[in-house]
Chain A
Amino acid sequence: DQQVKQNSPSLSVQEGRISILNCDYTNSMFDYFLWYKKYPAEGPTFLISISSIKDKNEDGRFTVFLNKSAKHLSLHIVPSQPGDSAVYFCAASEVTSGTYKYIFGTGTRLKVLA
């Protein structure tokens, strides 16, 4: 049973527009959420995170929103650029035996069209 779900396997957006990537989770014990970006043949690169005590975190063109009651988070990219084309993973973590463990979604492939 997947605890972290990214229901859209792919998304295409025109350059300059907003990209919205969604992620749902089931475990209310998750307290820290991260977004990673992955290019082909590379490891995931950390993009932005949000703690469960916040509902929004912004870093340049990237904003993550957290709706705890809905167990939903989203990543907004504004404006989208062709270099943003990649697979985006959301991940959720909880502390288990003193260590943060991460559960990943299956990813959303974003294609930004020039």
Chain B
Amino acid sequence: DAMVIQNPRYQVTQFGKPVTLSCSQTLNHNVMYWYQQKSSQAPKLLFHYYDKDFNNEADTPDNFQSRRPNTSFCFLDIRSPGLGDAAMYLCATSAGAAPDTQYFGPGTRLTVL
């Protein structure tokens, strides 16, 4: 089945220790998104790639970076995690053509100690 896969599902890191979350897709979609979701809040878009074009949201902290080495994979790097970065991180993909629907992975729950 075509899908969006996120690894790991649960990640524990220490304050200030860099961490990388990964996302892969078999949908061959052009666009990949990273969202941060904290408890009882709406998913918040961090950035997205349209093919290789990177689009950062204005309020995404510099601490968050992303890489997309090919169509299938996208990574979220948190350079120096703080306690406030503990959240669920959701990866999503879309075809990039109207009408456009996003498909989400299961998410990675990040804990910062």
Number of B interface residues in the complex (CB < 8 A) = 27
Q: How large is the interface on A (under 10, 10 to 19, 20 to 34, 35 or more residues)?
A: 20 to 34
Contact of A46 (CB < 8 Å), options: B31, B90, B98, B103: B103
Residues in A whose Cβ lies below 8 Å from that of B68:
none
Kindly identify, within residues 8 to 64 of chain A, every residue whose CB is under 8 Å from any CB belonging to chain B. Answer: 9, 32, 34, 36, 41-46, 49, 51
B85-113: contact bitstring with A at CB < 8 Å (1 yes, 0 no)? 00000101010101111111111010000
Give how many A-B residue pairs fall within 8 Å (CB-CB): 66
Contact of A98 (CB < 8 Å), options: B42, B50, B90: B50
Whether the pair B42, A43 counts as a contact (CB closer than 8 A) is no
Contact of B55 (CB < 8 Å), options: A2, A91, A97: A97
Residues in A whose Cβ lies below 8 Å from that of B74:
none
Among B6, B42, B92, residue most surrounded by chain A Cβ atoms (within 10 Å): B42
A105 to B105, CA, bound (A): 18
19 A-B interface contacts by CB (under 8 A): A32-B99, A41-B109, A44-B43, A45-B104, A46-B101, A46-B102, A46-B103, A46-B104, A93-B100, A97-B55, A98-B50, A99-B31, A99-B50, A101-B45, A101-B48, A102-B45, A103-B42, A104-B42, A104-B43
A binding-site residues for B, Cβ under 8 Å? 2, 4, 9, 32, 34, 36, 41-46, 49, 51, 89, 91, 93, 95, 97-107
Kindly identify, within residues 22 to 66 of chain B, every residue whose CB is under 8 Å from any CB belonging to chain A. Answer: 31, 33, 40-43, 45, 48, 50, 55
B78 in contact (CB, < 8 A) = no
